[in-house]
């Protein structure tokens, strides 16, 4: 197990390094600097600004100057918000996004997994077919469409929730719902197909044959085997929640990291764009790392082979 | 005569078509796509107004006999605007998936065919790319390339080839050692020819399914980018820009149809392509690969 973890850790670090380098290069080949204004600044002023942010240095120096502080979690100063560091801005904005994101992930799993199990047991009955129809609609409706609908009915028409802002805890409900529907539908489909695969295995018949109740078979034998794909989906699920937050937070005017990222894009705040991309990438890589370990832990069949293959 | 007919009914193409046509959702999806294409092609020409025409006597007017889907805050006809949006979405779906097809098939085929170290290296790169939140990369690319439809094609095509590469690689790797490839090689057929003439035609099924399922995600991503203001540039309008314009709170209160129609259009288009993609997958392989490895 330990060699596997170490190897996996090394890959994760390499991935993060690649991401940092790629985003750095992308931002440097960008035409137009962050300090381009409608009216050009006096040459001396522009030179000072460029020197202040180290933009007059050769590229490899700029790279080193960016990467070295990164190891301490310092993402540099924001180009747009004077005197503020990117790391501080992320620390300030992220908790709000995390609250909504976690809520939506919990919702998707808490409803999606049972719904998927239910469908797999009732395969091809009317309730299974109906749920499958609903989930394909759920997979097709984009989060921003859903957010608009929820805002319209939940806030504008029926006035149950606030249309915008994040002041009371109830304000997190609509955005979290808007973020969950895709993953909820996807998890339901995933759980269903994975349970269907396992339910047809021979050892399940054996479990029934030795007199276990359906619930006993499900909890004691099927669950641990069939839940694996859902565990693997945690990474993509989080990625979806992160990207969904860009637009959902904008719709509900939540001052979170997603909304902030979009604003940074338009103010061409390059350090901020890089910082958020790197921050979210590290979050995801770390999560995928944990998921892989959890996978090996849940499924002892692959641990040895997996460690060798990687 | 009779015998020949049963022979023909058993051919794989017919079997696939039969299985596909027996799936009501897939057929409905096809019909929706045809309707969408017709709407995108002909609605702007049929309407007396161009999508840029502004009618200041009819600003934010609810759907009526004159304006079937109402007018927006600039007095433009939503019926025509949505058709222009449909053009954008269809173009994006087509071109982004074609670019991803080109990159993905080349990459995957190279990886599977050469195998060994090349394969390991190429697939490790794909693994790394899978670990990155792709939409963030698309946003980064759009910041660099600037908004505009061609750039959307490019950014999406550059990002969405990963699934294709994995699937093609797996298939090529599996088929590489089959007897007919061995035979072709023994006859002295070159690498490129074997790949193009023998291997790729046999991976057509998975390729088509992946392609069909790339289309809705491309359509979604374009709408998403346009929604946050990074997609198409004015004066072109896409469903994303229209939905975002209609979703402003003050409009949501007074004229919700401005948000409703673009939202419905995106959802229906994605639904249609998902139906067709799922239908194709089920038809091409009754059990077996369902997107899992």
What pTM did the predictor assign? 0.81
- Chain A contact for B266 (CB, 8 A cutoff): yes
Q: Cβ distance B168 to B201 under 8 Å?
A: no
Confidence of residue B60 (pLDDT cuts 50, 70, 90): low
**pLDDT tops 90 at residue B103:** yes
Confidence of residue B1 (pLDDT cuts 50, 70, 90): very low
Q: Locate the chain A residue with the closest alpha carbon to B269.
A: A140
**pLDDT tops 70 at residue B75:** no
- Rounded mean pLDDT of chain A? 82
pLDDT at A55: 73
pLDDT at A32: 57
Across the interface, of A12, A145, A280, the residue whose CB is closest to B263 is A145
CB contact burial B232-267 (16+ within 10 A = b; e otherwise): beeebbbbbbbbbbbbeeebbeebbbbbbbbbbbbb
pLDDT at B163: 87
- Rounded mean pLDDT of chain B? 80
Q: A42 to each of A48, A49, A80, A287, B124, how far by Cα in Å?
A: 10, 11, 19, 47, 48
Q: Cβ distance A27 to A270 under 8 Å?
A: yes
pLDDT at A31: 59
- Chain A contact for B16 (CB, 8 A cutoff): no
Structure tokens at B236: 């072109």
Paired residues of A85 in beta bridges: A77
Which of B128, B223, B250 to mutate against chain A (most A CBs within 10 Å)?
B128
pLDDT at A221: 82
**pLDDT tops 50 at residue B130:** yes
For chains A and B, CB pairs below 8 A equal 118
Spell out which residues of chain A touch residue B233, defining contact as CB-CB under 8 Å: none
Spell out which residues of chain A touch residue B144, defining contact as CB-CB under 8 Å: 26-27, 29-31
pLDDT at A37: 57
CA–CA separation, B27 vs B38, rounded Å? 17
CA–CA separation, A100 vs A57, rounded Å? 41
Helix (H, G, I), strand (E, B) or coil at B247: coil
Q: What is the DSSP letter of A211?
A: T
Confidence of residue A105 (pLDDT cuts 50, 70, 90): very high
Asked if A163's CB is within 8 angstroms of B249's CB, the reply is: yes
**pLDDT tops 60 at residue B286:** no
- Chain A contact for B28 (CB, 8 A cutoff): no
Asked if B253's CB is within 8 angstroms of A247's CB, the reply is: no
Among the residue ranges A105-114, A137-146, B55-64, B90-99, the one predicted with the least confidence is B55-64
**pLDDT tops 50 at residue B292:** no
Closest by alpha carbon to A25, among A14, A36, A37, A17?
A: A17
Asked if B249's CB is within 8 angstroms of A164's CB, the reply is: yes
Q: Where are the beta strands (DSSP E) in B9-119?
A: none
Confidence of residue B289 (pLDDT cuts 50, 70, 90): very low
ipTM over 0.90: no
Asked if B132's CB is within 8 angstroms of A19's CB, the reply is: yes
Confidence of residue B285 (pLDDT cuts 50, 70, 90): low
pLDDT at B104: 92
**pLDDT tops 50 at residue A308:** no
pLDDT at A116: 92
Asked if A273's CB is within 8 angstroms of B252's CB, the reply is: no
Structure tokens at A247: 């637009």
pLDDT at A309: 43
Across the interface, of A151, A268, A280, the residue whose CB is closest to B252 is A151
How large is the average pLDDT for residues B41-68? 71
Which of A34, A36, A145 to mutate against chain B (most B CBs within 10 Å)?
A145
Confidence of residue A306 (pLDDT cuts 50, 70, 90): very low
**pLDDT tops 60 at residue A168:** yes
**pLDDT tops 70 at residue B7:** no
Confidence of residue B43 (pLDDT cuts 50, 70, 90): confident
Q: Cβ distance A247 to A234 under 8 Å?
A: no
Structure tokens at B252: 């949501």
Among the residue ranges A106-110, A138-142, B188-192, B245-249, the one predicted with the least confidence is B245-249
Across the interface, of A152, A246, A273, the residue whose CB is closest to B140 is A273
Asked if B271's CB is within 8 angstroms of A243's CB, the reply is: no
Asked if B136's CB is within 8 angstroms of A243's CB, the reply is: yes
Q: Cβ distance A85 to A78 under 8 Å?
A: yes
Highest mean pLDDT among A150-159, A189-198, B37-46, B236-245: A189-198
């Amino acid at each position: 197990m330990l060699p596997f973890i170490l190897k996996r850790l090394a890959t994760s670090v390499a991935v993060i390094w690649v991401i940092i380098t790629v985003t750095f290069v992308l931002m440097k080949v960008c035409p137009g600097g962050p300090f381009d204004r409608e009216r050009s600044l006096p040459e001396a002023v522009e030179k000072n600004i460029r020197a202040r942010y180290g933009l007059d240095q050769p590229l490899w120096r700029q790279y080193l100057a960016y990467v070295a502080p990164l190891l301490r979690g310092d993402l540099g100063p924001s180009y747009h918000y004077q005197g503020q560091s990117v790391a501080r801005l992320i620390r300030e904005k992220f908790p709000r996004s995390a609250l909504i994101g976690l809520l939506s992930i919990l919702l998707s799993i808490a409803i999606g997994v049972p719904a998927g199990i239910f469908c797999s047991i009732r395969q091809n009955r009317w309730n299974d077919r109906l749920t499958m129809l609903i989930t394909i609609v759920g997979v097709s409706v984009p989060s921003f469409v859903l957010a608009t609908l929820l805002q319209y009915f939940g806030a504008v028409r029926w006035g149950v929730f606030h249309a915008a802002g994040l002041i009371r805890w109830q304000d997190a409900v609509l955005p979290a719902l808007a973020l969950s529907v895709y993953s909820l539908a996807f998890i339901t489909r995933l759980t269903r197909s994975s349970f269907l695969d396992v339910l047809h295995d021979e050892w399940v018949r054996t479990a029934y044959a030795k007199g276990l109740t359906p619930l006993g078979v499900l909890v004691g034998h099927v669950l641990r085997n069939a839940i694996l794909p859902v565990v693997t989906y945690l990474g993509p699920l989080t990625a979806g929640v992160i990207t969904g937050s860009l637009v959902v937070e904008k719709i509900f005017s939540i001052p979170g990291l997603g909304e902030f990222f979009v604003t940074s894009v338009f103010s061409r705040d390059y350090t901020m764009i890089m910082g958020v991309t790197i921050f979210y990438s590290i979050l995801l890589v770390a999560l995928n790392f944990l998921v892989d370990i959890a996978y090996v832990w849940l499924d002892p069949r692959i641990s040895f082979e997996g460690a060798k293959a990687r | 005569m009779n015998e020949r007919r049963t022979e023909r009914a058993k051919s794989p193409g017919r079997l696939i078509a039969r299985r596909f046509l027996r799936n009501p959702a897939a057929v409905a999806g096809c019909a929706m796509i045809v309707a969408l294409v017709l709407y995108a092609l002909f609605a702007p020409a049929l309407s007396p107004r161009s999508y840029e025409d502004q009618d200041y006597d009819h600003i934010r007017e609810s759907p009526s006999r004159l304006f079937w889907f109402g007018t927006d805050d600039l007095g433009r006809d939503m019926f025509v605007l949505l058709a222009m949006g449909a053009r954008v979405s269809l173009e994006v779906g087509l071109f982004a998936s074609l670019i991803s097809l080109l990159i993905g098939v080349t990459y995957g085929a190279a990886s599977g065919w050469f195998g060994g170290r090349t394969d390991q290296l190429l697939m490790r790169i794909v693994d790394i790319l899978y670990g990155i939140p792709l939409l963030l990369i698309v946003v980064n690319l759009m910041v660099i390339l600037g908004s505009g439809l061609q750039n959307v094609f490019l950014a999406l095509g550059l990002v969405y080839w990963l699934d294709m590469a994995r699937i093609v690689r797996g298939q090529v790797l599996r088929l590489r050692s089959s007897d007919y490839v061995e035979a072709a090689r023994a006859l002295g057929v070159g690498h490129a020819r074997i790949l193009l003439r023998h291997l790729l035609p046999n991976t057509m099924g998975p390729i088509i399914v992946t392609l069909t399922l790339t289309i809705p995600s491309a359509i979604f991503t374009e709408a998403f980018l346009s929604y946050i203001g990074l997609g198409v540039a004015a004066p072109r309008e896409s469903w994303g820009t229209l939905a975002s314009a209609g979703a402003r709170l003050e409009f949501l209160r007074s004229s919700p149809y401005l948000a409703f129609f673009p939202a419905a259009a995106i959802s229906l288009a994605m639904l249609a392509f998902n139906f067709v993609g799922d239908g194709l997958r089920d038809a091409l392989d009754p059990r077996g690969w369902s997107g899992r490895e």
